Structure 1
Amino acid sequence: MPRVTDAYLAARRNQVLDAVRACVDRDGLQGATMEGIIELSGLSTGTVYKYIRGKEEGVEAAMAGALDGLTAKLVPFLTADPLPAPSVVVSQLTDVVETFAQHEKYSLLRVAMHGWSAALSSPALLDRIAPLYRTFRDLLCDAAVAWKANGDLRPDADPDDVAAALLSLLMGFAAQQAILGDTSAAQQSRGFAALLAEGGSAGAL
Protein backbone atom coordinates (compact mmCIF):
# COMPACT_ATOMS: atom_id res chain seq x y z
CA MET A 1 0.00 0.00 0.00
CA PRO A 2 1.48 3.40 -0.99
CA ARG A 3 2.73 5.53 1.88
CA VAL A 4 0.70 8.65 2.59
CA THR A 5 3.15 11.55 2.47
CA ASP A 6 3.17 14.62 4.68
CA ALA A 7 2.63 16.72 1.56
CA TYR A 8 -0.52 14.75 0.73
CA LEU A 9 -1.89 15.19 4.27
CA ALA A 10 -1.11 18.92 4.21
CA ALA A 11 -2.86 19.31 0.86
CA ARG A 12 -5.97 17.52 2.15
CA ARG A 13 -6.01 19.66 5.29
CA ASN A 14 -5.73 22.82 3.18
CA GLN A 15 -8.58 21.53 1.01
CA VAL A 16 -10.76 21.19 4.11
CA LEU A 17 -9.80 24.62 5.46
CA ASP A 18 -10.48 26.19 2.07
CA ALA A 19 -13.93 24.61 2.21
CA VAL A 20 -14.47 26.18 5.64
CA ARG A 21 -13.55 29.61 4.28
CA ALA A 22 -15.76 29.14 1.21
CA CYS A 23 -18.68 28.04 3.37
CA VAL A 24 -18.29 31.02 5.73
CA ASP A 25 -18.08 33.37 2.75
CA ARG A 26 -21.18 31.84 1.16
CA ASP A 27 -23.39 31.29 4.20
CA GLY A 28 -21.97 33.56 6.90
CA LEU A 29 -20.52 32.35 10.16
CA GLN A 30 -23.86 31.45 11.71
CA GLY A 31 -25.16 29.80 8.55
CA ALA A 32 -22.07 27.72 7.91
CA THR A 33 -22.48 24.05 8.80
CA MET A 34 -20.39 20.90 8.68
CA GLU A 35 -22.70 19.66 5.92
CA GLY A 36 -21.90 22.76 3.86
CA ILE A 37 -18.18 22.40 4.54
CA ILE A 38 -18.24 18.76 3.48
CA GLU A 39 -20.17 19.62 0.32
CA LEU A 40 -17.73 22.35 -0.71
CA SER A 41 -14.66 20.27 0.14
CA GLY A 42 -15.52 17.54 -2.38
CA LEU A 43 -14.29 15.00 0.18
CA SER A 44 -16.08 12.32 2.12
CA THR A 45 -17.59 13.00 5.52
CA GLY A 46 -15.08 10.73 7.19
CA THR A 47 -12.14 12.45 5.52
CA VAL A 48 -13.28 15.92 6.58
CA TYR A 49 -13.75 14.79 10.18
CA LYS A 50 -10.19 13.45 10.18
CA TYR A 51 -8.95 17.03 9.91
CA ILE A 52 -11.54 19.02 11.91
CA ARG A 53 -13.82 17.75 14.66
CA GLY A 54 -16.49 20.38 14.09
CA LYS A 55 -17.34 23.78 12.62
CA GLU A 56 -15.86 25.80 15.47
CA GLU A 57 -12.53 24.01 15.28
CA GLY A 58 -12.56 24.38 11.50
CA VAL A 59 -13.26 28.11 11.65
CA GLU A 60 -10.48 28.64 14.20
CA ALA A 61 -7.99 26.69 12.10
CA ALA A 62 -9.08 28.35 8.85
CA MET A 63 -8.80 31.88 10.25
CA ALA A 64 -5.49 31.30 12.01
CA GLY A 65 -4.03 29.46 9.03
CA ALA A 66 -4.88 32.28 6.65
CA LEU A 67 -3.40 34.84 9.04
CA ASP A 68 -0.24 32.77 9.43
CA GLY A 69 0.11 32.58 5.65
CA LEU A 70 -0.44 36.29 5.17
CA THR A 71 2.03 37.21 7.91
CA ALA A 72 4.69 35.00 6.35
CA LYS A 73 4.33 36.93 3.07
CA LEU A 74 4.38 40.34 4.78
CA VAL A 75 7.40 39.81 7.04
CA PRO A 76 10.11 40.06 4.33
CA PHE A 77 8.97 43.59 3.44
CA LEU A 78 9.25 44.70 7.09
CA THR A 79 12.64 43.12 7.69
CA ALA A 80 14.40 44.20 4.50
CA ASP A 81 17.85 45.70 4.97
CA PRO A 82 17.96 48.50 4.08
CA LEU A 83 14.30 49.17 4.83
CA PRO A 84 12.59 51.33 2.19
CA ALA A 85 10.74 54.53 3.12
CA PRO A 86 7.34 54.19 4.87
CA SER A 87 5.29 54.99 1.76
CA VAL A 88 7.11 52.28 -0.20
CA VAL A 89 6.62 49.66 2.50
CA VAL A 90 2.93 50.53 2.87
CA SER A 91 2.56 50.10 -0.88
CA GLN A 92 4.22 46.70 -0.68
CA LEU A 93 2.12 45.57 2.28
CA THR A 94 -1.23 46.61 0.84
CA ASP A 95 -0.32 44.97 -2.46
CA VAL A 96 0.45 41.69 -0.66
CA VAL A 97 -2.85 41.88 1.26
CA GLU A 98 -4.78 42.46 -1.96
CA THR A 99 -2.99 39.67 -3.84
CA PHE A 100 -3.15 37.18 -0.97
CA ALA A 101 -6.89 37.73 -0.55
CA GLN A 102 -7.67 36.67 -4.12
CA HIS A 103 -9.08 33.16 -4.33
CA GLU A 104 -11.30 31.58 -6.95
CA LYS A 105 -13.70 30.05 -4.40
CA TYR A 106 -14.08 32.83 -1.81
CA SER A 107 -13.12 36.33 -0.75
CA LEU A 108 -10.58 36.05 2.03
CA LEU A 109 -11.30 39.65 3.03
CA ARG A 110 -14.99 38.88 3.58
CA VAL A 111 -14.01 35.76 5.50
CA ALA A 112 -11.74 37.92 7.66
CA MET A 113 -14.67 40.20 8.50
CA HIS A 114 -16.63 37.18 9.72
CA GLY A 115 -13.59 36.05 11.69
CA TRP A 116 -13.16 39.39 13.45
CA SER A 117 -16.81 39.36 14.42
CA ALA A 118 -16.60 35.80 15.69
CA ALA A 119 -13.48 36.53 17.74
CA LEU A 120 -15.45 39.03 19.84
CA SER A 121 -17.67 36.26 21.16
CA SER A 122 -15.27 33.31 20.96
CA PRO A 123 -12.45 33.38 23.54
CA ALA A 124 -10.79 30.40 21.85
CA LEU A 125 -10.65 32.13 18.46
CA LEU A 126 -9.57 35.43 20.00
CA ASP A 127 -6.79 33.69 21.93
CA ARG A 128 -5.64 32.07 18.69
CA ILE A 129 -5.53 35.11 16.42
CA ALA A 130 -4.81 38.05 18.78
CA PRO A 131 -1.16 37.01 19.35
CA LEU A 132 -0.64 36.93 15.58
CA TYR A 133 -1.85 40.51 15.25
CA ARG A 134 0.32 41.57 18.21
CA THR A 135 3.37 39.93 16.66
CA PHE A 136 2.75 41.70 13.38
CA ARG A 137 2.26 45.02 15.20
CA ASP A 138 5.61 44.44 16.92
CA LEU A 139 7.20 44.03 13.48
CA LEU A 140 5.64 47.32 12.40
CA CYS A 141 7.08 48.91 15.53
CA ASP A 142 10.55 47.57 14.68
CA ALA A 143 10.18 49.06 11.20
CA ALA A 144 9.16 52.39 12.74
CA VAL A 145 12.30 52.34 14.90
CA ALA A 146 14.38 51.85 11.74
CA TRP A 147 12.53 54.64 9.93
CA LYS A 148 13.10 56.97 12.85
CA ALA A 149 16.82 56.18 12.84
CA ASN A 150 16.91 56.81 9.08
CA GLY A 151 15.21 60.18 9.43
CA ASP A 152 12.01 59.03 7.73
CA LEU A 153 9.98 59.92 10.82
CA ARG A 154 9.98 62.98 13.03
CA PRO A 155 12.47 62.82 15.91
CA ASP A 156 9.61 62.86 18.41
CA ALA A 157 7.63 60.09 16.67
CA ASP A 158 6.68 57.19 18.93
CA PRO A 159 7.27 53.87 17.09
CA ASP A 160 4.40 52.26 19.04
CA ASP A 161 2.03 54.96 17.81
CA VAL A 162 3.22 54.52 14.22
CA ALA A 163 2.80 50.74 14.44
CA ALA A 164 -0.74 51.06 15.80
CA ALA A 165 -1.67 53.50 13.02
CA LEU A 166 -0.21 51.29 10.29
CA LEU A 167 -2.00 48.20 11.57
CA SER A 168 -5.24 50.18 11.55
CA LEU A 169 -4.53 51.23 7.97
CA LEU A 170 -4.02 47.64 6.82
CA MET A 171 -7.04 46.27 8.69
CA GLY A 172 -9.10 49.23 7.48
CA PHE A 173 -8.09 48.52 3.89
CA ALA A 174 -9.21 44.91 4.31
CA ALA A 175 -12.56 46.01 5.80
CA GLN A 176 -13.18 48.70 3.19
CA GLN A 177 -12.44 46.37 0.30
CA ALA A 178 -14.56 43.58 1.79
CA ILE A 179 -17.56 45.84 2.43
CA LEU A 180 -17.41 48.34 -0.43
CA GLY A 181 -15.24 46.55 -2.95
CA ASP A 182 -14.26 49.77 -4.68
CA THR A 183 -10.77 50.50 -3.39
CA SER A 184 -7.38 49.01 -4.19
CA ALA A 185 -3.88 48.65 -2.83
CA ALA A 186 -2.71 51.28 -5.32
CA GLN A 187 -5.30 53.79 -4.09
CA GLN A 188 -4.31 53.18 -0.47
CA SER A 189 -0.65 53.68 -1.33
CA ARG A 190 -1.30 56.96 -3.16
CA GLY A 191 -3.39 58.26 -0.30
CA PHE A 192 -0.79 57.33 2.30
CA ALA A 193 1.98 58.94 0.24
CA ALA A 194 -0.13 62.11 -0.01
CA LEU A 195 -0.55 62.19 3.77
CA LEU A 196 3.18 61.75 4.28
CA ALA A 197 3.80 64.70 1.98
CA GLU A 198 1.38 66.98 3.88
CA GLY A 199 2.77 70.48 4.00
CA GLY A 200 5.25 69.66 1.23
CA SER A 201 7.60 67.63 3.41
CA ALA A 202 7.75 63.92 2.57
CA GLY A 203 8.13 61.65 5.57
CA ALA A 204 6.57 64.21 7.93
CA LEU A 205 5.03 61.64 10.28
Structure 2
Amino acid sequence: MARVSQEHLDARRRQILDGAARCFARNGFHATSMQDVLKEVDLSAGAVYRYFTGKEDLIRAIVTEVLGELRGAFEAAAVQSPPPPPDALVGHVMKEVLGRRKGLSYEDESGFPRLLVQVWTETLRNDELSAQLREGYDTVRAAWCKVVEAYQTAGMMRTDIPPEHVARTMIGVAQGFCAQQALFGPVPVEVLQNGLRGLMSMGQQPR
Protein backbone atom coordinates (compact mmCIF):
# COMPACT_ATOMS: atom_id res chain seq x y z
CA MET A 1 0.00 0.00 0.00
CA ALA A 2 1.33 3.45 -0.90
CA ARG A 3 2.27 5.56 2.08
CA VAL A 4 0.18 8.72 2.50
CA SER A 5 2.38 11.83 2.49
CA GLN A 6 2.37 14.36 5.30
CA GLU A 7 1.39 16.98 2.75
CA HIS A 8 -1.75 14.99 1.91
CA LEU A 9 -2.59 14.55 5.60
CA ASP A 10 -2.16 18.27 6.25
CA ALA A 11 -4.32 19.17 3.25
CA ARG A 12 -7.08 16.82 4.40
CA ARG A 13 -7.00 18.25 7.91
CA ARG A 14 -7.19 21.76 6.42
CA GLN A 15 -10.17 20.71 4.30
CA ILE A 16 -12.03 19.44 7.36
CA LEU A 17 -11.26 22.50 9.49
CA ASP A 18 -12.33 24.92 6.78
CA GLY A 19 -15.55 23.03 6.10
CA ALA A 20 -16.42 22.86 9.80
CA ALA A 21 -15.76 26.59 10.19
CA ARG A 22 -18.14 27.35 7.33
CA CYS A 23 -20.84 25.19 8.92
CA PHE A 24 -20.42 26.77 12.34
CA ALA A 25 -20.48 30.29 10.89
CA ARG A 26 -23.57 29.53 8.83
CA ASN A 27 -25.73 27.61 11.31
CA GLY A 28 -24.18 28.03 14.74
CA PHE A 29 -22.35 25.53 16.86
CA HIS A 30 -25.29 23.67 18.38
CA ALA A 31 -27.37 23.60 15.19
CA THR A 32 -24.50 22.01 13.28
CA SER A 33 -24.18 18.23 13.43
CA MET A 34 -21.21 16.13 12.47
CA GLN A 35 -23.34 14.93 9.55
CA ASP A 36 -23.50 18.53 8.36
CA VAL A 37 -19.71 18.72 8.52
CA LEU A 38 -19.32 15.42 6.63
CA LYS A 39 -21.62 16.70 3.91
CA GLU A 40 -19.81 20.03 3.71
CA VAL A 41 -16.38 18.46 3.25
CA ASP A 42 -17.68 15.50 1.19
CA LEU A 43 -15.79 12.92 3.24
CA SER A 44 -16.72 9.75 5.07
CA ALA A 45 -17.11 9.64 8.83
CA GLY A 46 -14.01 7.49 9.09
CA ALA A 47 -11.93 10.03 7.18
CA VAL A 48 -13.03 12.90 9.43
CA TYR A 49 -12.82 11.04 12.74
CA ARG A 50 -9.27 10.09 11.88
CA TYR A 51 -8.39 13.73 12.58
CA PHE A 52 -11.03 14.98 15.02
CA THR A 53 -13.09 13.26 17.69
CA GLY A 54 -16.14 15.48 17.23
CA LYS A 55 -17.52 19.02 17.13
CA GLU A 56 -15.79 20.23 20.28
CA ASP A 57 -12.46 18.96 19.02
CA LEU A 58 -13.02 20.86 15.77
CA ILE A 59 -13.92 24.11 17.49
CA ARG A 60 -10.89 23.81 19.79
CA ALA A 61 -8.64 23.40 16.76
CA ILE A 62 -10.17 26.46 15.08
CA VAL A 63 -9.76 28.56 18.24
CA THR A 64 -6.13 27.49 18.63
CA GLU A 65 -5.37 28.38 15.03
CA VAL A 66 -6.96 31.83 15.12
CA LEU A 67 -5.34 32.79 18.43
CA GLY A 68 -2.00 31.60 17.08
CA GLU A 69 -2.39 33.86 14.05
CA LEU A 70 -3.20 36.84 16.25
CA ARG A 71 -0.29 36.19 18.60
CA GLY A 72 2.12 35.76 15.70
CA ALA A 73 1.04 39.03 14.09
CA PHE A 74 1.50 41.03 17.28
CA GLU A 75 4.80 39.34 18.16
CA ALA A 76 6.11 40.21 14.70
CA ALA A 77 5.15 43.85 15.30
CA ALA A 78 6.88 43.91 18.70
CA VAL A 79 10.30 43.25 17.15
CA GLN A 80 10.02 46.28 14.86
CA SER A 81 11.73 49.41 16.12
CA PRO A 82 9.53 51.24 16.67
CA PRO A 83 6.35 49.20 16.11
CA PRO A 84 3.64 50.62 13.83
CA PRO A 85 1.23 52.95 15.69
CA PRO A 86 -1.88 51.30 17.15
CA ASP A 87 -4.23 52.32 14.32
CA ALA A 88 -1.92 50.83 11.70
CA LEU A 89 -1.07 47.74 13.76
CA VAL A 90 -4.62 46.78 14.74
CA GLY A 91 -5.84 47.49 11.22
CA HIS A 92 -3.10 45.32 9.74
CA VAL A 93 -3.84 42.41 12.07
CA MET A 94 -7.59 42.61 11.51
CA LYS A 95 -7.14 42.72 7.74
CA GLU A 96 -4.74 39.80 7.87
CA VAL A 97 -6.96 37.56 9.99
CA LEU A 98 -10.25 38.52 8.33
CA GLY A 99 -8.62 38.32 4.91
CA ARG A 100 -7.43 34.77 5.47
CA ARG A 101 -10.86 33.73 6.66
CA LYS A 102 -12.57 35.16 3.57
CA GLY A 103 -10.80 32.42 1.66
CA LEU A 104 -12.89 29.85 3.50
CA SER A 105 -15.89 30.78 1.31
CA TYR A 106 -18.13 32.13 4.05
CA GLU A 107 -21.44 33.39 2.74
CA ASP A 108 -20.41 36.98 3.52
CA GLU A 109 -17.69 38.94 5.28
CA SER A 110 -19.45 38.77 8.65
CA GLY A 111 -19.27 34.96 8.65
CA PHE A 112 -15.99 34.71 10.53
CA PRO A 113 -16.95 37.34 13.15
CA ARG A 114 -20.19 35.37 13.70
CA LEU A 115 -18.08 32.29 14.30
CA LEU A 116 -16.04 34.17 16.89
CA VAL A 117 -19.16 35.31 18.76
CA GLN A 118 -20.46 31.74 18.80
CA VAL A 119 -17.16 30.53 20.21
CA TRP A 120 -17.28 33.17 22.95
CA THR A 121 -20.82 32.10 23.82
CA GLU A 122 -19.82 28.45 23.93
CA THR A 123 -17.09 29.19 26.47
CA LEU A 124 -19.78 30.19 28.99
CA ARG A 125 -20.93 26.57 29.22
CA ASN A 126 -17.80 24.65 28.21
CA ASP A 127 -15.10 24.80 30.89
CA GLU A 128 -12.47 23.11 28.74
CA LEU A 129 -12.96 25.51 25.84
CA SER A 130 -13.07 28.42 28.29
CA ALA A 131 -9.69 27.41 29.71
CA GLN A 132 -8.25 27.09 26.20
CA LEU A 133 -9.57 30.51 25.19
CA ARG A 134 -8.22 32.09 28.37
CA GLU A 135 -4.78 30.59 27.76
CA GLY A 136 -4.81 31.86 24.19
CA TYR A 137 -5.98 35.28 25.32
CA ASP A 138 -3.12 35.45 27.82
CA THR A 139 -0.55 34.78 25.08
CA VAL A 140 -2.08 37.45 22.83
CA ARG A 141 -2.15 39.91 25.73
CA ALA A 142 1.50 39.18 26.50
CA ALA A 143 2.41 39.88 22.88
CA TRP A 144 0.50 43.16 22.99
CA CYS A 145 2.23 44.14 26.23
CA LYS A 146 5.57 43.83 24.42
CA VAL A 147 4.27 46.15 21.72
CA VAL A 148 3.15 48.70 24.31
CA GLU A 149 6.51 48.52 26.08
CA ALA A 150 8.19 49.19 22.72
CA TYR A 151 5.91 52.22 22.23
CA GLN A 152 6.90 53.55 25.63
CA THR A 153 10.60 52.95 25.04
CA ALA A 154 10.39 54.81 21.73
CA GLY A 155 8.62 57.75 23.40
CA MET A 156 5.43 57.14 21.41
CA MET A 157 3.22 56.49 24.44
CA ARG A 158 2.87 57.66 28.02
CA THR A 159 4.92 55.64 30.47
CA ASP A 160 2.68 56.22 33.50
CA ILE A 161 0.08 53.69 32.35
CA PRO A 162 0.73 49.93 32.82
CA PRO A 163 1.28 48.16 29.48
CA GLU A 164 -1.25 45.48 30.43
CA HIS A 165 -3.99 48.09 30.76
CA VAL A 166 -3.32 49.33 27.24
CA ALA A 167 -3.08 45.76 25.92
CA ARG A 168 -6.45 44.80 27.39
CA THR A 169 -8.04 47.92 25.92
CA MET A 170 -6.68 47.34 22.42
CA ILE A 171 -7.75 43.69 22.48
CA GLY A 172 -11.19 44.87 23.56
CA VAL A 173 -11.30 47.24 20.59
CA ALA A 174 -10.54 44.39 18.19
CA GLN A 175 -13.09 42.10 19.87
CA GLY A 176 -15.72 44.82 19.79
CA PHE A 177 -15.11 45.43 16.10
CA CYS A 178 -15.64 41.72 15.41
CA ALA A 179 -18.83 41.74 17.49
CA GLN A 180 -20.17 44.68 15.49
CA GLN A 181 -19.39 42.86 12.26
CA ALA A 182 -21.26 39.79 13.49
CA LEU A 183 -24.32 41.70 14.73
CA PHE A 184 -24.67 44.48 12.18
CA GLY A 185 -22.86 43.32 9.07
CA PRO A 186 -19.52 43.98 7.36
CA VAL A 187 -17.69 47.25 7.94
CA PRO A 188 -14.34 48.14 6.32
CA VAL A 189 -11.35 47.83 8.64
CA GLU A 190 -10.52 51.42 7.67
CA VAL A 191 -13.44 52.52 9.87
CA LEU A 192 -11.70 51.00 12.89
CA GLN A 193 -8.38 52.54 11.88
CA ASN A 194 -9.91 56.00 11.43
CA GLY A 195 -11.64 55.76 14.80
CA LEU A 196 -8.41 54.84 16.54
CA ARG A 197 -6.58 57.60 14.71
CA GLY A 198 -9.18 60.11 15.89
CA LEU A 199 -8.83 59.03 19.52
CA MET A 200 -5.05 59.10 19.28
CA SER A 201 -5.14 62.70 17.97
CA MET A 202 -6.42 64.10 21.24
CA GLY A 203 -2.84 64.34 22.53
CA GLN A 204 -3.68 64.16 26.23
CA GLN A 205 -0.71 64.94 28.43
CA PRO A 206 0.09 63.27 31.78
CA ARG A 207 -1.44 65.11 34.72
- TM-score above 0.5, yes or no: yes
> Once the two structures are superposed, what CA deviation does each residue of 1:54-83 show, in whole Å capped at 9, x if it has no partner?
222222222222332343344322332332
Partner of 2:115: 111
Partner of 2:7: 7
Gaps of 5+ in 2: none
Q: How does 1:131-142 map to 2 (within 5 A)?
A: 131-142=135-146
1:40 matches 2:44 = no
Q: Give the letter aligned to residue 160 of structure 1.
A: E
Partner of 2:194: 190
SS at match of 1:29: coil
> Once the two structures are superposed, what CA deviation does each residue of 1:87-114 show, in whole Å capped at 9, x if it has no partner?
3323322322332332343222211111
**Offset, 1:14:** 1.3
CA separation of 1:174 and 1:78: change in aligned 2, threshold 3 A: farther
State which drifts further: 166-175 or 178-187.
Answer: 178-187
Q: Contact between 1:20 and 1:58, CA under 8 Å: does it hold in 2? A: yes
Tell me how far apart the structure 2 counterparts of residues 180 and 76 of structure 1 sit (CA, whole Å).
31
SS at match of 1:4: coil
**Offset, 1:137:** 0.7
**Offset, 1:84:** 2.5
Partner of 1:162: 166
Q: Contact between 1:113 and 1:175, CA under 8 Å: does it hold in 2? A: yes
Partner of 2:88: 88
SS at match of 2:117: helix
Q: Give the letter aligned to residue 47 of structure 2.
A: T
**Offset, 1:38:** 0.4
**Offset, 1:188:** 0.4
Q: Give the letter aligned to residue 51 of structure 1.
A: Y
Q: Contact between 1:22 and 1:105, CA under 8 Å: does it hold in 2? A: yes
Partner of 1:60: 60
**Offset, 1:161:** 0.8
State which drifts further: 87-96 or 32-41.
Answer: 87-96
Tell me how far apart the structure 2 counterparts of residues 89 and 139 of structure 1 sit (CA, whole Å).
13
**Offset, 1:176:** 1.1
SS at match of 1:134: helix
Q: Contact between 2:81 and 2:150, CA under 8 Å: does it hold in 1? A: no
Over the residues paired in the alignment, what is the CA RMSD in angstroms? 2.0
TM-score (norm 1): 0.89
> Once the two structures are superposed, what CA deviation does each residue of 1:128-149 show, in whole Å capped at 9, x if it has no partner?
2221111111111111111112
Q: Which among 142, 148, 156 is matched to residue 144 of structure 1? A: 148
SS at match of 1:153: coil
State which drifts further: 30-39 or 44-53.
Answer: 44-53
**Offset, 1:202:** 8.3
Which protein has greater RCO, CA pairs closer than 8 Å, 6+ apart?
A: 2
CA separation of 1:51 and 1:41: change in aligned 2, threshold 3 A: same
